[in-house]
Structure 1
């Protein structure tokens, strides 16, 4: 059944079973397919608010994975975390029911839209996808949206619209974005990451080039002129490219000024003033993200006013420099940064905000990333005034390389290692004082530390 095309199965009345239906991009998929008239069932390891929401729409969700859950299904869709050994996948294979990946389902869905805006890159995807959503919403284009984080404007990470535009955060991990059909493909930057899957930077670049090549002849690639790896990846590309950059590219910033750490600038498009933008999020990296979003909007013929108003209304995505509250006069923020480049951008932005001390509680994400980028993590984590290291968040991995956050702490003068998150919380309580910026950082469950701190205040 490997040759089956998912596009033949995504149709009203067809019956699909989703394994891991409670996941961040599986639950919106279930909702989109349900609204398109398909009969959807699902399963997940645990109950959650998301599962309850799906049930409220009339989608039955079983808790726990069992072969009988797929009964009646004509196709099965799984999240990347679900392997062939899963009893539901094994049963589907045994019964000859085709099994598709989540990304393939999104790819099939986007073929039904005139505009498919796909935002890729090693860093900045969630923020830029969120910025694009604000702009397209301000233009009243009623988009369908899929973001890998929560956007306050939507109250979730997704939206099911009725317009002819779909906006998707597009991830390179496991080449999942190679199942997509972008009409506008954004490449924010390219670095060596996900080295548990890719061999090296060249392998990552090869994947991004294949993604760019999925754009049709009459489509457009939006690329970061400031990023050498991106420009190298696109050498010899025949499809039209719209570039952006701080001071170079088709879309660039001019007259950049800062007020209390927040940027204002003119967006210049091919030498002409397009619009003026004032952002409510700090950091030079967010100026670049906003330029990428503006370039994507230009590619979709959006008005300058919608770009201006959409970006002015954006105050950050969930877990992207998200304000959690205060504790003992210290401001507590949370951020998803889990790669040294993202950490560097976060800490540089934090430095501009005028706090007396920056206290960073960092939880590394996966053993392979920590080992591969060890020296870069050490370099960046020397920057905060106080660095606290939580133990590595395993995610999908087993620690067969014998690495620990304790190894990082040994290389970072003055840093502290905490074996458990409650220990991190206790240490932050002792440290916190007025004038401090406390950052909880990482892609795992470190955000719970800031939440428990703020609860106790």
Structure 2
């Protein structure tokens, strides 16, 4: 089968492309504004990428067009379609489907699906769970919204006899013609509900509407299945109050699964008894909670908690999750540049708090944190959470915002931070501001859910050439 994917470089659609290619299908695709790591992965798989959404791609004559949710019926200022290929598909009556629907029909049927849902931590927890199952010789299939460092790819079919498939279960809508959340297509037997707060302001009116979608997911879990849920989240309790027909397994304070110890070395407790021990290089309470969720989910398919906890000791996280991009050595100390996917205010705060605790615990409490970020997600572009930015950046000594393309005043939103915050409407001026402020010992965290204009390499290059104040 030849499938042509519209929006192929999104993390989810890129994973679908990789699975289809592994299954022996011919895969081509198109997108705009291509950026790593997905573009690199697709090219390595021999998948042809076409820039843009031109109607001339109809000449490829695929068996089916798989439509990503980036595609819409939107029109440009001159009245022409933003996605002319989609208009051509509709006019021709060609066969098309959504990515989640294709995945459900072609990959997930007949498998034990372990789905990880939540506003934050989906990618990391999905990767943890896949790694636990891999180390336990279960050879799972998986689709992750990122590239786990332990696997080097975002998706694979898997070969284990249990036919396990771990998937990052996103609540965002499926496609312009299917407004259900992606995760309702997956029909999991094991579902992780990690956390839940308001996000995706472009498609959800309020938190209650997102909770409704999460309950749609709960409804699809069979009675022999397991729902692994965060016991500390009021929103999750409201979801479950609507009805749950499966085994419940709660983690966090008040739950069956808890942690005792520091965030980087802790015992895993099940009903108050030590069931395993995690010793790893990750930081932050959020990662400790992610670990508990992954261990509880793995136990549902037969992996002992002690074995799962030991496996996490070798877990190397995911690309763009506090990924070290480089250091610049100076006589008075080094400057360190990280890349992180954080874009929601809570995620930004969690990322910076995790780094601050790690620095404080390793004797570097005087090192400064410089936070560079761009409000690029649809929710952040709308300015819905602009007022939360000063709160999210409290652990940053200095903050630098890329405001290009925003319809709201980033400088006004960051005004409560005073001189600690700077704004630039283009990447090069932003880099210049950071370089001028940086000094030895600083940790520069670049946060975005996009390519951020290559800011990491530009910073490393500029710092290497000009240095920082000694």
Once the two structures are superposed, the pairs formed by residues 218-297 of structure 1 within 5 Å of their partners are: 218-254=224-260, 256-257=261-262, 263-297=264-298
1:427–1:229 distance in 2 versus 1, CA, 3 Å: same
Q: Could you tell me how far apart the structure 2 residues matched to 1:178 and 1:212 are?
A: 9
Deviation at 1:233, TM superposition (A): 1.0
1:181 to 177, 187, 194: 187
Q: Could you tell me how far apart the structure 1 residues matched to 2:242 and 2:72 are?
A: 38
Residue ranges of structure 1 left out of the alignment (5+ in a row): 1-13
Match in the other structure for 1:347: 352
SS of equivalent residue, structure 1 residue 182: coil
Deviation at 1:295, TM superposition (A): 0.9
Q: Could you tell me how far apart the structure 1 residues matched to 2:223 and 2:216 are?
A: 14
2:399 to 387, 393, 405: 387
Deviations 1:121-169 (A, max 9, x none): 0011111111112111111111111111121111132233222111111
Q: Could you tell me how far apart the structure 2 residues matched to 1:55 and 1:264 are?
A: 39
8 Å Cα contact 1:242/1:295 also seen in 2: no
Match in the other structure for 1:98: 95
1:434–1:57 distance in 2 versus 1, CA, 3 Å: closer
Deviations 1:227-252 (A, max 9, x none): 11111111142322433333321211
Match in the other structure for 1:35: 22
Deviations 1:292-334 (A, max 9, x none): 1111111121133531232111132111111112234122222
Deviation at 1:221, TM superposition (A): 1.1
TM-score (normalizing by structure 2): 0.85
Match in the other structure for 1:26: 13
Match in the other structure for 2:165: 166
1:51–1:280 distance in 2 versus 1, CA, 3 Å: closer
1:410 aligns with 2:415: yes
Deviations 1:89-146 (A, max 9, x none): 2232223223211121222244334311111100111111111121111111111111
8 Å Cα contact 1:223/1:241 also seen in 2: no
Superposed CA RMSD = 2.5
Deviations 1:374-403 (A, max 9, x none): 2221222244211222215x5xxxx5xx30
8 Å Cα contact 2:377/2:449 also seen in 1: no
Match in the other structure for 2:53: 65
Q: Could you tell me how far apart the structure 1 residues matched to 2:204 and 2:33 are?
A: 31
Q: Could you tell me how far apart the structure 2 residues matched to 1:27 and 1:173 are?
A: 16
Residue ranges of structure 2 left out of the alignment (5+ in a row): 74-80, 174-180, 465-470
Q: Could you tell me how far apart the structure 2 residues matched to 1:438 and 1:51 are?
A: 25
Q: After alignment, is 365-374 or 346-355 more displaced? A: 365-374
8 Å Cα contact 2:257/2:270 also seen in 1: yes
1:32–1:383 distance in 2 versus 1, CA, 3 Å: closer
SS of equivalent residue, structure 2 residue 72: coil
1:364 to 375, 382, 393: 375
SS of equivalent residue, structure 2 residue 313: helix
How many residues align structurally?
Answer: 432
Once the two structures are superposed, the pairs formed by residues 107-118 of structure 1 within 5 Å of their partners are: 107-118=104-115
Match in the other structure for 1:330: 335
1:376 aligns with 2:388: yes
8 Å Cα contact 1:144/1:165 also seen in 2: yes
Deviation at 1:53, TM superposition (A): 6.3
Q: After alignment, is 321-330 or 61-70 more displaced? A: 61-70
Q: After alignment, is 127-136 or 409-418 more displaced? A: 409-418
1:144 to 131, 141, 146: 141
8 Å Cα contact 1:364/1:405 also seen in 2: no
Q: Could you tell me how far apart the structure 1 residues matched to 2:47 and 2:323 are?
A: 32
TM-score (normalizing by structure 1): 0.87
8 Å Cα contact 1:135/1:297 also seen in 2: yes
Deviation at 1:190, TM superposition (A): 0.7
1:202 to 195, 205, 208: 208
Deviation at 1:431, TM superposition (A): 2.2
